[in-house]
Amino acid sequence: LEVAEMFSDLFPDGVFMICGNHDLYSKSTTKINSIKYFRHIKNINVFDEPEVVKIGDKKFQMLPWRKHHEDEKAFLKDHAADFLCCHMNVLNMSLNSYTKVERGCDDNDFKGFGHVFSGHIHYTQKSEKVTMLGCPYQLTRSDRNNKKYVLLFDPANSERVEFENNFSQYSEAKYALGV
């Protein structure tokens, strides 16, 4: 809680947390989750249901994790905003350095949004329309050589500052056989 309170003081315009699959007690609902208690700290906003937030003159659609990709697609079809902040799979992205995403939304599903920020996949990557934020630190060996960072985003001018985490808990060792 001390870290949350520190962020609350650092960002008086708000800290925004979107409920993800790892925050849930049950995959059938987002209502029982591990981050809801942060909403009692000033300036911290927790989203366990879809909601539009206006920051300056920009609209952000907050979309927490959904169990079914069809539900995500149906929701996106009926909504639009400058930015979509979500927790979902995106086709043509990678789950890690070895495996591609095979189910989820694609760029056609994001027509109503200027840019998409998602945090579901732990592997950091970008396309023209989507920034997959990933995890700010390595979780597995397949994360090795994947840039890890925390993103500071200014909606007024779309400026992005990446605070890179250069610590690697996994290293690569190469052996010469038969030497």
CA 155/CA 145 separation, integer angstroms = 29
Query: Which residue in 110, 107, 106, 133 sits closest to 120, CA to CA?
Result: 133
Q: Report residue 148's pLDDT band, with 50, 70 and 90 as the boundaries.
A: very high
By the 8 A CB rule, do 128 and 115 touch?
no
pTM score, whole prediction:
0.90
Label residue 106 exposed, middle or buried (CB < 10 Å: 0-12, 13-18, 19+). middle
Query: So what's the pLDDT on residue 139?
Result: 86
The tens digit of pLDDT for each residue in 9-28 reads: 998 889 999 999 999 999 88
By the 8 A CB rule, do 120 and 96 touch?
no
| DSSP 8-state class, residue 63 | E
Query: So what's the pLDDT on residue 178?
Result: 73
| Whole-angstrom Cα Rg for the chain | 18
